[in-house]
Amino acid sequence: MGLKAGIVGLPNVGKSTLFNALTSAKAEAANYPFCTIDPNVGVVTVPDERLKKISEFVKPQKQVPTIMEFVDIAGLVAGASKGEGLGNKFLANIRETDAILHVVRCFEDSDVVHVSGSIDPVRDIGTINTELILADLDSVDKKLKRIEKMAKSTSDVQLKIEFALTKKLYEALNAGKPARSVEIDDTEAPFMKEFHLLTTKPVLYVCNVAESEYTSGTESDWVKKVAEHAKSENNNYIAICSAIEAEIAQLPEADRIEFIQSLGMEEPGLNRLIREAYSLLNLITYFTAGEKEVRAWTIEKGTKAPGAAGVIHTDFERGFIRAETYHCEDLFKYKSEAAAKEAGKYKSEGKEYVVRDGDIMLFRFNV
């Protein structure tokens, strides 16, 4: 299952600083474009207090959280779709991700040069989105030219469906609309996946704000404009201060809580960012719990029990018999699995059971 989010934006908006904070890695962060030539990749754990809380009752030997992968992609510039600023290479890196975290600069700093000479996050969003649309348009245009003659002279129903979809995508992209705006039906969905278009990916706008704004909890006009833009696209946004988060990430674990509380925060902003990215991919978490370990597992929302079992091992899905399950909130309420059973909260579910976020599961299988 894809769990990869690409961090994109113009140069000098704070992408690499944010990536460093996310992964506590050492990606180079410098005040000039293209300091990140190759994508930096980091794997981070998804913060989930339920994992720790379940462990308090089950008392396992270890806890295993679920993870996400973040890719720091070098700054895009106007003309990237035509190769400006090594753009083609970076666009290819974005194509390999499942979601986009689009970092936009919402802070003033005379020491950090803005490539466009002024702060205007909505304009900057437009610059990046235009390049993504143009890159997709180029890809779709090539395919349209390749299959148009064949589609018109064939009786192959599948080829005709593919051609109709390609034409719809071309018309939308040519009008400056992202591919995600195109309505598709069940017959077109398999072909849509084959395009691997940049503008079908879900987007979370990350407003990189000044320290004073972040700690006060206020929103600048810049952030409000990004919020309006995100809403118009059915996307979401989050405000974060990369500089503060990077500082928190560098502190020893014992000092982090005190520093976070001194800023009037309950947790690092990165925790919210990771959870938002996780949610962006339409993912949920279920748990397995025993003496050896309590582990979090990632599945797509709507996954049925056999599919959830297959995340652990393909044999579990192939030989699925049933799932024994109860919700973590029942464990927290009744204090033990046995007590949850007595209260009638422990269920035996079959192949059609849709797994809920927070379920604790035991799979029975035979191969």
Residue 315 to residue 104: CA distance in whole angstroms: 44
* Confidence check: pLDDT of 31 > 80: no
Per-residue confidence at 314, pLDDT binned at 50, 70, 90? very high
- Report whether 158 contacts 189 (CB < 8 A): no
Q: What percent of the chain has pLDDT over 70?
A: 89
What is the SS3 assignment for 209? strand
C-alpha distance from residue 15 to each of 29, 275, 363 (Å): 8, 18, 41
Average pLDDT, stretch 110-119?
69
pLDDT tens digits along 51-103:
999 999 999 999 999 988 888 886 665 554 555 544 455 677 788 888 999 99
Average pLDDT, stretch 259-283?
89
H or E element at residue 17 = helix 15-23
pLDDT of 112: 64
pLDDT of 83: 52
Per-residue confidence at 361, pLDDT binned at 50, 70, 90? very high
- Give 202's Cβ-side CA count (13 Å radius): 19
Predicted model pTM: 0.84
Residue carrying structure tokens 């938002």: 276
Across the chain, mean pLDDT equals: 87
